Chain A
Amino acid sequence: DAGVTQSPTHLIKTRGQQVTLRCSPKSGHDTVSWYQQALGQGPQFIFQYYEEEERQRGNFPDRFSGHQFPNYSSELNVNALLLGDSALYLCASSPTTSIGYGYTFGSGTRLTVV
């Protein structure tokens, strides 16, 4: 049973460019959340998607946007990249009503902005 898969695993971009990260949730999960984890910090909530709509959003600027497809997979887009966007980006999936069972996380995409 495949868990959460993210692609690519590593990415290097130039400041000002745009990037798209991809996530396939665990089978049976329909809710996808995205997190940014800077070095030495805990994951920071970016947003959550359910039924192809953004359901909740953390304290991130509009440069961060996302999308969920009918098959529940999701994309995270970041425009006008800044050096401070360099981080590990984690995707997590869950069944909608099972927060008590936690989220299943992917291994992340390491984004480096130069």
Chain B
Amino acid sequence: DQQVKQNSPSLSVQEGRISILNCDYTNSMFDYFLWYKKYPAEGPTFLISISSIKDKNEDGRFTVFLNKSAKHLSLHIVPSQPGDSAVYFCAASLFGDMRFGAGTRLTVKP
């Protein structure tokens, strides 16, 4: 049961431009949505989250948008930096049970 989907396996952007990573979900009961970043040979690292009662959360260069009617969330990174190159996972939580998407590999070119 693929409740969280990331349909773009990869994304390439130029340094300084905006990176937009997308995620769709099917279960309207999810209470929290999160983004994680993963470098090779490391576990995922928490990046930013948003409660289901909000539509936007911002933390520095990272902003997450939630569109509940479309069951869609996105992560915006502005400006993108080469160090942002990693695999980004979208996750959705239902009372602590966290489900992940398959990930999007972001490459930021200098």
Interface residues of A (CB under 8 A from B): 4, 31, 33, 35, 40-45, 48, 55-56, 58-59, 90, 92, 94, 96, 99-108
A96-B8 Cα distance, complex, nearest whole Å = 32
Partner of B97, one of A58, A101, A107: A58
A108-B31 Cα distance, complex, nearest whole Å = 27
User: A41: which B residues are within 8 A, CB to CB?
Assistant: 102-103
**In the complex with contacts A31-B96, A56-B97, A42-B46 CB distance below 8 A:** no
Query: Secondary structure at chain A's binding surface: helix, strand, loop or mixed?
Result: mixed
A43 in contact with B89 (CB, 8 Å) = yes
A36-B11 Cα distance, complex, nearest whole Å = 25
A59 in contact with B1 (CB, 8 Å) = yes
A59-B99 Cα distance, complex, nearest whole Å = 11
CB-CB nearest in chain B for A35: B100
B102 in contact with A42 (CB, 8 Å) = yes
A112-B102 Cα distance, complex, nearest whole Å = 21
A-B contacts besides A42-B6, A42-B100, 18 pairs, CB < 8 Å: A31-B96, A33-B96, A35-B100, A42-B91, A42-B101, A43-B89, A43-B100, A45-B99, A48-B96, A59-B1, A90-B43, A99-B93, A102-B47, A104-B46, A105-B36, A105-B44, A107-B41, A107-B42
CB-CB nearest in chain A for B102: A42
Which 3 A-B residue pairings sit nearest by Cβ, starting from the closest?
A: A102-B46, A105-B43, A42-B100
Interface centre among B49, B51, B96, B100 (most CB of A within 10 A): B96
A45-B99 Cα distance, complex, nearest whole Å = 7
Interface residues of B (CB under 8 A from A): 1, 4, 6, 31-32, 34, 36, 41-47, 49, 51, 89, 91, 93, 95-103
Partner of A107, one of B31, B34, B36, B43: B43
User: A94: which B residues are within 8 A, CB to CB?
Assistant: 96
A40-B49 Cα distance, complex, nearest whole Å = 23
**In the complex with contacts A4-B43, A90-B44, A100-B49 CB distance below 8 A:** yes
A105 in contact with B100 (CB, 8 Å) = no
28 contacts between A and B (CB under 8 A): A31-B96, A40-B102, A41-B102, A41-B103, A42-B101, A42-B102, A42-B103, A43-B44, A43-B100, A45-B98, A45-B99, A56-B96, A90-B43, A92-B43, A94-B96, A96-B96, A99-B31, A100-B32, A100-B49, A101-B46, A102-B36, A102-B47, A103-B46, A105-B36, A105-B43, A107-B42, A107-B43, A108-B43
